[in-house]
Structure formats: structure tokens, C-alpha cells
Amino acid sequence: MSTSPEPAPAADEPAPAPAPRAGEPRLLVSLATYNEAGNIAALIADIQKVVPHADVLVIDDNSPDGTGRIVADLAEKDPRVHLLARPGKLGLGTATLAAMKFAMAQNYDYLLNMDADFSHPPRYLPGILAGMSTYDVMIGSRYVRGGGTENWPLPRRVISQTVNMMVRFLLRMPVKDASGAFRCYRVGLLREANLGRVRSRGYSFQQEVLFRCHKAGAKLGEFPILFENRRAGSSKVNRKEAVRSMSMLLYLGLRNVFGLEPGRR
């Protein structure tokens, strides 16, 4: 007996999300955006090609270029896409903390954070996720064998390497790349990581969050990536904020050396 195929959904109906495989961890990919209209739709599409069962959360700081509207349109059609619209430019650190709170509240297993400008290529997602079978935090690392940066000016390379040397010495973390944002966290570990004590809101945020995870007992792993230049838009690096962040890392490092920073919550 023959059966007729099910009708395809109408063009204006949301596409059904792929059903997760049995036992597959629930994954949330977070993207903090400010003026990323030239990147965001293509990036979300590429993420979904590589990890089709992942949900994507975009935290947009009221981008004047309409990034939030693009994501809102995508979310109407795809239940895997979520938008957290904020009233103004509140910064990368608070956006990442918002993603962590969302992941904990919604009981995801993993939170994977990426930059929204294609400097973190989605092709590395399978390798980073594979490491989560062993580690609590997996870092997309520029400074392990096989990793690197593309077309970075010498001053930026020197500053990045210096910051990471300082972090290893003062914060006692056994990683080569503590400053990149391309990371996957075990959400259960984030619940133990004293995130309420995070003071950084600028560029030192990535190092401090990793430090809080390390103090909570996280096993830290690294997977090599090539950090690529953004495809569209302009860099948001600010020299004044970089100096402020270095000062924060020095403050945290000295507190750690003298045993003043607590561990598990």
C-alpha cells in the first residue's frame, strides 16, 4: 500500500527544528553583537550547518545597523534562534554573563561562546565539542600547536602573548590562551564558579571567567584554531579599555598569589 508524502510547510511557516539525537547534550551557542548586520545571518547559518541541533542565542546591544531586527526575523522562522535585546551598549562581559545565566536557567548542558564577526570559524566547533567529553571548559586556542592568528599586526601579537604569560604566572592557570572568547563551558560547572564575584566587564572578562572556573575545579582543555580577521564591520578594540583590563588582571593576580580569592561557590 502506498502512502502520500507529508506536505511541505508553507513558505511563511517556521521550519521545524531538527530533533536531537538520544543522549545528545543540549548545546547553546551564544553570540554578543553590536553592529554585526553584515555577518550575523551568514554566521548563524554556518553554525547550524555544523551543529544543526544547537540553539543560538544572540545578545544584541541595540545595534544601530539593525542587527537585532535581522535576528528577530530569523527567530520568528526558526525555533533554534533566540534574541536577547538590550537597551544599549552594555559591553561584551555583561553579554557573556547574560548568556551564562540564560544557559543555566534553561538547563542547557553546554554553552559555547563565539565572536560574531567570523574571527571564530564554525568549522572548529566539532573539535571543541569533542573535547567536552574530557574537559569542563574547552578553549579555541591560538597558542597551542596547530593554532595561530591571521594577519595580526606585531603590536597586537605582542600584547596578547604578554597578557597570557602574565595570566599563567599570576593566576596559575595551565593554559596557553586565556584571553580568547571562543570557548565551550559545561553549564553545571558554571553553577559552581562564583560568577557573582566577576568584576571585569571589558577585555579582562575572558581571563577572569576562566580563572573563576579554574578555582571551582574545572578541567581546562585547548583545541587549536586559526584566529581570522573579521569579514565585515570594524574592530571594537579600545586602548583605554585594554589598559584598564591589564590593571584588573594584575589586581586579581596579586589577590590570587596571596590566597585571597575563594574557590568553589
120 within domain boundaries: yes
Question: Nine-digit cell at 104?
Answer: 543555566
Number of H helices and E strands in the chain, helices first, is: 8, 9
Is 16 contained in some domain? no
Residue 81 lies in a domain: yes
Which pLDDT value is given to residue 111? 98
| The predicted structure's pLDDT at residue 259 | 79
Number of independent structural domains in the chain: 1
Q: Which domain holds residue 89?
A: 27-257
pLDDT band, very low/low/confident/very high, at 14 (cuts 50, 70, 90): very low
CATH number of 219's domain: 3.90.550.10
Is 153 part of any domain?
A: yes
Give every CB contact of residue 79 below 8 A, 6+ residues apart in sequence.
14, 16, 17
Taken as a whole, the chain contains a residue count of: 265
21 assigned to some structural domain: no
3-state secondary structure of 219: coil
Mean pLDDT of the 121-138 span: 98
**Exposure b/e, 7-42, CB count within 10 A at least 16 = b:** eeeeeeeeeeeeeeeeeeebbbbbbbbbbbbbbbee
Residue 6 lies in a domain: no
pLDDT digits (tens, 9 = 90+) for 92-108: 899 999 999 999 999 99
Query: Is 8 among the domain residues?
Result: no
Does residue 2 fall inside a structural domain? no
Pairing mode, if any, of strands 110-114 and 183-186? antiparallel
pLDDT in tens, 133-143: 999 999 999 99
